Chain A
Amino acid sequence: MIYREAGQYKTTYLNDSQIFPIAQDRVAVALLLVVAFVAIPLFATPYIFSGILIPFLILALATLGLNILTGYAGQISLGTAAFMAVGAFASYNFMLRVPGMPVLLAFVLGGICAALVGILFGLPSLRIRGFYLAASTLATQFFVVWCLTKVPWFTNNSSSGVITAQQVEILGFKFETPQQKYLLVLAVVAVMALLAKNMVRSTVGRSWMAVRDMDVAAEVIGFRIMKSKLTAFAVSSFYCGVAGALYAFCYLGTVEPEAYNLDLSFRILFMVIIGGLGSILGSFLGAGFIVLLPIFLSVVVHYTGLPNSVTSNLELMVFGALIIFFLIVEPHGLARLWQIGKEKLRLWPFPH
């Protein structure tokens, strides 16, 4: 009833090829953007911005990056955090060494550096796949973090390998308060998510999916495997690189290479799995689940009045149990749950 697309005729090609073909979706996305850009900044507290929303958006962007590679192109990667590190440290160096460098351009250049590293470490994917590829991307993770601590030039000769991100300033406007930083992060994430949504249904995106589903068949029907796989690595790493730069510039401020460790790579991989492989919405849902749920649990458990040594462990146990529960209920992730809900809404109130 509410979610029915009957009567929405597409009479032009332009209409037919919209990003969101259903009118209700367009309204929902527009509403969501209005809420995120206008309502939330009006009402949220600094804690909500810098403790919850900023890390959520940044990790959602990184998840989106990995989802392009793993969900759409079918290449498993354990080096997500390494690509984020490349983005962050490259942006830092561009800001440091090029006078008058605009910060947004530095983010883009940082992303491009990450993309180049991604292409380089994506080369093995041409010969190996599956678990073996996962192991080889693990090398990226260790190599990048090792390289950043080893070569003092990357960290401007800081003795301990720690960098302090520069002030974020665009056209003379300084982004200082959590609210301003949130708006900047939101704008970047919104634009990039929209681009991703558009990209996955383009030729490039469809070539990724063909390679994912069966690479031999994809090659037979004329897709160039090398190009598809390497563009997937490049685009995915670009997204991760920008996320990493935002993580350093808009969230932590002062970062050591250790902040981009294997743990973070795994967390992002879990976000992809929980959220749903091959879904843009799933990236956000997965990031929300892994970032927000522990915080929510810790607040709830805190009010039980149990001693802290118990609550800390309880938090982890409940979190683990919930992950298992969701994976049993819906192995295809939260995005699939949403899709099922949407199907039901279409038929409601007359299900067959």
Chain B
Amino acid sequence: MKFRFTRLLAITAVAASTALTGSLAAAQEQYLPLLSYRVGPYAAGGSGFFGGMIDYFNLVNANGGINGVKLSWEECETEYNASRGVECYERLKSKNGGASVVEPLGTGIAYGILDRVATDKIPMTTLGYGRSDAANGAVFPYVYPLITSYWSQAAGMIKYLGDKAGGMDKLKGKKIVHLYHDSAFGKEPLPVLEAYEKSLGFTLIKIPVPHPGNEQNSQWLQIRQANPDYVILWGWGVMNAVAVKTAARVGFPREKMLGVWWAGSEEDTIPAGDAAKGYSTMTFNTPGNYPVIDDIRKKVYGAGKGNLSDKDRIGSVYHMRGITAGIIWVEAMRNAQAKYGKGKVMTGEQVRWGLENLNIDETRQKALGVLNMFPTIKTSCQDHEGSGATKVQVWDGKAWKAVTPSWVMGDRAMIQKMVAESSAKYAAEKKITAACAAG
């Protein structure tokens, strides 16, 4: 008993001292909470994305940090579940001197913490998902649907289909099926598609697929009967591979299918096998290899610090998306440091300023070794999206290849008008006076 007690004491002492040194070290570190998910039905996406973020943070640390400020982070498993995500956010937000920016990579969690981030003054990035109208920074100062929102993506899709048909006016009289996951996510693009339906004169056929979407025979029978010119696949998870396989079975050409970017990763096409050949989707990363990925291979995985257990996934769609998110965070902090003091740890408010005044142009991309990996980003208070550009990629049976050489941009003016209207409605409901933050 005595022995046990001393051993316990020794363990406690060691634990206490490590905790102490840990907190001392954290004083010079920029702390980042990661609401990751590595189990459950969406684990493939979560592990790739957060693996990419962590790999990039490790690369930044290996290169000496942001002006000497090292990055530290802590993960919390959300299981892609809104209430677990909120708990994780609450648990991590005030640790190690306070969180400065957050990315939940899940619509439900993003909604759950939408009000909290504004109260806590911690900016939230939602790369390629979440509320499209949050692009209006006057109403949503702490939310950043960066690069492209669902609305911009839907506009980009129609633009691409129009170009493919030989001009936007050529879409008149055509039939487009919107095959969507029957949830908030799948319904988000409807206002944009309906607006285009009116202005361009094509017929929009909306076909919902109930969650999880592992049975789509009746939907594809309906598509077969309608015989549309294009099918937009707005799916997520297992639904995508099933859609591609069912399309192959009913003999619908995959070349006429265009997926959303959550339907465009290796995890969606490899299970579909040969059926996926020729299937194309939207993306905001140009597939390929970049100097930054070589750097990560050499400096991070070479040093045994890589986060992905399967090295073949380095540079895959989700991994690259995570690296992009990592780059944006780091650039925002670098930006904030330039204003509030180099070599200092930034607060949430300061990082928010950094995100709102982001400017990653081609010269900056070249310096980072990511030229053309994602569209150039320039944010402002009115435009928290920063770009709105997308790209189309096609699966050649082994890998994703870019179809469009340049970035595809939908009708920006129309999207911005819709964002303004929708966010004004939100502001009225919540009694928010829309105003841009000073400084």
Which among B77, B86, B188 is the interface contact of A51 at CB below 8 angstroms? B86
Which among B75, B76, B112, B422 is the interface contact of A159 at CB below 8 angstroms? B422
CB distance from A289 to the nearest CB of B (A): 15
Q: Does B107 contact A (CB under 8 A)?
A: yes
Contacts of B76 in A (CB 8 A): 298, 302
Q: Does B108 contact A (CB under 8 A)?
A: yes
Which among B90, B210, B422 is the interface contact of A50 at CB below 8 angstroms? B90
With A254-B114, A258-B108, A259-B82 as contacts: A149 and B187 at CB distance below 8 Å: yes
Contacts of A51 in B (CB 8 A): 86-87, 90-91
Which among A146, A309, A315 is the interface contact of B182 at CB below 8 angstroms? A146
Bound: A164/B75 CA distance, A: 28
CB distance from B405 to the nearest CB of A (A): 33
Which among B94, B183, B431 is the interface contact of A47 at CB below 8 angstroms? B94
With A253-B115, A254-B112, A298-B77 as contacts: A149 and B87 at CB distance below 8 Å: no
**Residue among B91, B191, B422 facing the most chain A CB atoms (10 A cut-off):** B91
Pair A162/B94 contact, Cβ less than 8 Å? no
Q: Does B38 contact A (CB under 8 A)?
A: yes
Pair A149/B183 contact, Cβ less than 8 Å? yes
Contacts of A298 in B (CB 8 A): 76-77
With A159-B422, A164-B426, A313-B39 as contacts: A47 and B108 at CB distance below 8 Å: no
Q: Could you tell me which residues of chain B, from 82 to 113, have a CB within 8 Å of some CB in chain A?
A: 82-84, 86-87, 90-91, 93-94, 107-108, 111-112
CB distance from A266 to the nearest CB of B (A): 12
Which among A47, A258, A315 is the interface contact of B91 at CB below 8 angstroms? A47
Contacts of B86 in A (CB 8 A): 50-51, 55, 251-252
Mask, A51-79, CB within 8 Å of B = 1, is 11001000000000000000000000000
**B-to-A contact residues, CB < 8 Å:** 36-39, 47, 75-77, 81-84, 86-87, 90-91, 93-94, 107-108, 111-112, 114-116, 131, 182-185, 187-188, 190-191, 210-211, 309, 422, 426, 429-431
With A47-B91, A161-B187, A308-B75 as contacts: A254 and B39 at CB distance below 8 Å: no
**Residue among A47, A96, A294, A316 facing the most chain B CB atoms (10 A cut-off):** A47
Pair A258/B87 contact, Cβ less than 8 Å? no
Pair B108/A259 contact, Cβ less than 8 Å? yes
Q: Does A255 contact B (CB under 8 A)?
A: yes
Bound: A51/B83 CA distance, A: 8
Pair A160/B38 contact, Cβ less than 8 Å? no
Contacts of B188 in A (CB 8 A): 159-160
CB distance from B306 to the nearest CB of A (A): 11
Pair B115/A312 contact, Cβ less than 8 Å? no
CB distance from B39 to the nearest CB of A (A): 5
Pair B111/A255 contact, Cβ less than 8 Å? yes
Which among B47, B87, B90, B116 is the interface contact of A253 at CB below 8 angstroms? B116
Pair A258/B38 contact, Cβ less than 8 Å? no
Bound: A156/B91 CA distance, A: 33
Bound: A254/B91 CA distance, A: 19
CB distance from B72 to the nearest CB of A (A): 14
Bound: A255/B183 CA distance, A: 12
Contacts of A142 in B (CB 8 A): 210
20 A-B pairs with C-beta separation under 8 A: A47-B90, A47-B94, A50-B116, A51-B87, A149-B182, A159-B190, A159-B422, A160-B131, A160-B185, A162-B111, A162-B131, A252-B112, A253-B111, A254-B112, A258-B183, A258-B211, A298-B76, A308-B75, A309-B309, A313-B38
